[in-house]
Amino acid sequence: MSHAPLILALETSCDETSAAVLRGERDVLGHVILSQDVHRLYGGVVPELASRAHLRVITDVVDGALAEAGVGIDQIDVFGVTAGPGLIGALLVGVAWAKGAAYAARRPLVAVHHMEAHLFAVNVENEDARPPFVALLVSGGHTMLLWVPEWGRYELLGETRDDAAGEAFDKVAKILGLGYPGGPVIQRVAAEGDPAAHPFPRPLLHGGQRPGDADYYDFSFSGLKTAVLNRVRELEAQGRLEEEVPSLAASFQAAVVDVLVAKTMRAVEATGCRRVVLGGGVAASRALRAALAEGLGEGGELYYPSARLATDNAAMIVRAALFHYRRGETAGLDLTARADLPFPGLVGR
């Protein structure tokens, strides 16, 4: 194999400004992730503030990654960037920066789909995490169940019909007055609560479903959020809300995990492949990992990224860019960001 290229990639699709420099698949030489704190004030990401914050720090974040890697920008062989999906103003900051850098350095530019990159995240850390596998992508904006026979070929089995799994964590955390982002704080508070205390619904999950049914693999989290809200109002009226917050968090988390695991196990049964890859911020959930490991049992293989690579980061963007670069898929200087960029290589449904 030829000398592995040195790739610098940027990620600015949401509220993390990140840059990474990798040599080949998993030699992370430099990696900076800056989480924008400003959104905490509002309990969710404010798009305009996100764009401005990216713009303010992007150059320092790139310089930081290069300095950590001990290389100059003139040594970079290929530039990669998240071109979508995400917040359009936020994406444009990264895309414009990467286009400028690639043009100035006369090097190729590779456009990366943010969710495909989440699929590649764990492969940066573990070369065994490669197809074939069943993938569960669970982030703040997306929830997708995929069958991945090979890189670049993705069969969509199911997806959310309304809120994403991470979005449900964020909204429920807001309802419970726990702050943003919701996943980590719900996980922390839930540890003190009883997951069986409040029997919340398991949306789109019941025993009578068959593989051909439209809802067999699909998800829905909006009704669950409303169920939590209704319970919160009841408890509030009874003056018992505060003492019940840990059990509400635990019961909500258990409901989300039950549905995610049950549907993933359906895909495992259908494909006969006991290898599962987790990606996206919700992959940081210990409850989800534990329940999936238990579901897969002895002969199963569960791969999930470390906390740093589960949430948004540029190392996974480099890894996905490398894949497309090797296939000769580079972008022109007419590249533009797209909030609704379609998933590349998606088949089925």
The contact set with ligand KG4 (CB under 6 A) reads: 14, 139-141, 166-167, 169-170, 181-184, 187, 280-282, 284-285, 311-312
What CA–CA distances, in Å, run from 159 to 34, 179, 342?
A: 29, 26, 14
In the complex, what is the shortest distance from the CB of residue 221 to ligand KG4, in angstroms, rounded to a whole number?
11
Q: How many CB atoms within 10 Å of residue 238? A: 9
In the complex, what is the shortest distance from the CB of residue 142 to ligand KG4, in angstroms, rounded to a whole number?
7
In the complex, what is the shortest distance from the CB of residue 311 to ligand KG4, in angstroms, rounded to a whole number?
3
In the complex, what is the shortest distance from the CB of residue 212 to Zn ion, in angstroms, rounded to a whole number?
31
Of 94 and 184, nearer to ligand KG4 (C-beta) is 184
The C-alpha atoms of residue 35 and residue 20 are separated, in whole angstroms, by 15
Q: Could you say which of 51, 139, 160, 187 contacts Zn ion (CB under 5 A)?
A: 139
Q: With CB cut-offs between 5 and 8 Å by kind, which of ligand KG4, Zn ion, none does residue 285 bind?
A: ligand KG4
Of 186 and 273, nearer to ligand KG4 (C-beta) is 186
Of 170 and 244, nearer to ligand KG4 (C-beta) is 170
Query: What residue number has its CB nearest to ligand KG4?
Result: 183
Tokens of 181: 């982002």
User: Under 8 Å CB-to-CB from 184, ≥6 apart: which residues?
Assistant: 284
In the complex, what is the shortest distance from the CB of residue 173 to ligand KG4, in angstroms, rounded to a whole number?
7
The C-alpha atoms of residue 126 and residue 305 are separated, in whole angstroms, by 9
Per rule CB under 5 A, count of chain residues that contact Zn ion? 2
Q: With CB cut-offs between 5 and 8 Å by kind, which of Zn ion, ligand KG4, none does residue 166 bind?
A: ligand KG4
What CA–CA distances, in Å, run from 85 to 49, 72, 232, 329?
A: 18, 29, 33, 18
Of 112 and 267, nearer to Zn ion (C-beta) is 112
Of 30 and 85, nearer to ligand KG4 (C-beta) is 85
User: Under 8 Å CB-to-CB from 137, ≥6 apart: which residues?
Assistant: 115, 118, 119, 143, 144, 145, 146, 279, 280
In the complex, what is the shortest distance from the CB of residue 66 to Zn ion, in angstroms, rounded to a whole number?
23
Q: How many CB atoms within 10 Å of residue 343? A: 19
What CA–CA distances, in Å, run from 226 to 148, 205, 220, 244, 263?
A: 33, 17, 12, 17, 22
Tell me: does residue 312 bind Zn ion (CB under 5 A): yes
The C-alpha atoms of residue 154 and residue 115 are separated, in whole angstroms, by 11
Interface residues toward Zn ion, by CB under 5 A: 139, 312
